[in-house]
Amino acid sequence: MEYYLICALIFGVAYLVNATYISIFYHRGLTHSAIELKPGLRKFVVASGPWVMGIDAKTWCTMHRLHHRHSDKESDPHSPLNSSIPRVIVEQLKSYERIMRGLIARKKQYTSEVPDLDFNVHWLYRNKLWWLPYALHLAISVGLSFALGGWLVGLAFYSGMVTHPIQGWLVNSFGHSMGYQTFDNGDNSRNNNIVSWLVMGEGYQNNHHKHPRSPKFSYRWFEVDYGYRICQAMQALGMITIEKDYLIRVVERRELEERAA
């Protein structure tokens, strides 16, 4: 029994590490500047992100800014309206690869999206070594399996560490197809509570598209954005600064009150 608990714990931690890198560091931090990462942490995140998740920071940020710019239009890199809910997982990977190639080739249509990001596509990708982090995870999985006496613990670690595409798919597909709309953003963005519980509040796409620079994605009493609680904890630890609270306190309250009146 204890062994299964350890496996579940390892999967859970690996899953949360993935979600933290994307939702807190790449998304709220690097892409939208809704929080400011302290310089040392910022450097560490950019350098370590590919090793942890197999995802390049600059490419992810570029793709996500393009998603906001073209939300649910033809040029959206991963809208379910352009394909289907299951196909979003393929579309997001194809877009990610295309954008990375464009950034490496310094194509203006991509570099112009991220002039503020003063770092390059990670050297792993510039040298076609994208597979190396996965090989490292595999080696750690085998090591864990030997150390703790069973293959399940290795599988738990490996599968937890490669959950990012699944988490992204949940947000990109259901967050733009199923759920309620609090705001009229002119797109198909939705607020989906289940996806938000699974992925750190990221399911509140309708709220988020209304105010991308707000560090908090939940606005109503029943909406739970625990990613924002993690931001608050990180701020207390001196890792980040939350800058855009005024959006939540002033703008959103007033708009919601006006809607309710």
Q: Which residues bind to Zn ion, rule: CB under 5 A?
A: 205, 212
| Residues 31/66, Cβ–Cβ less than 8 Å | no
Closest among 253, 243, 245, 226 to 33, alpha carbons compared: 243
Q: Nearer to Zn ion by C-beta: 79 or 141?
A: 79
Provide the minimum distance between the beta carbon of 231 and Zn ion in the complex, in angstroms, as a whole number. Answer: 14
Provide the minimum distance between the beta carbon of 1 and Zn ion in the complex, in angstroms, as a whole number. Answer: 41
Rounded Cα gap, residues 177 and 182, in angstroms: 14
Provide the minimum distance between the beta carbon of 126 and Zn ion in the complex, in angstroms, as a whole number. Answer: 26
Provide the minimum distance between the beta carbon of 251 and Zn ion in the complex, in angstroms, as a whole number. Answer: 17
Q: Nearer to Zn ion by C-beta: 170 or 234?
A: 170
Q: Nearer to Zn ion by C-beta: 62 or 205?
A: 205
Provide the minimum distance between the beta carbon of 37 and Zn ion in the complex, in angstroms, as a whole number. Answer: 16
**Phi, psi for residue 131 in degrees, rounded to 5:** -80, -15
Q: Nearer to Zn ion by C-beta: 13 or 81?
A: 81
Q: Nearer to Zn ion by C-beta: 82 or 159?
A: 82
Provide the minimum distance between the beta carbon of 62 and Zn ion in the complex, in angstroms, as a whole number. Answer: 12
Q: Nearer to Zn ion by C-beta: 10 or 56?
A: 56
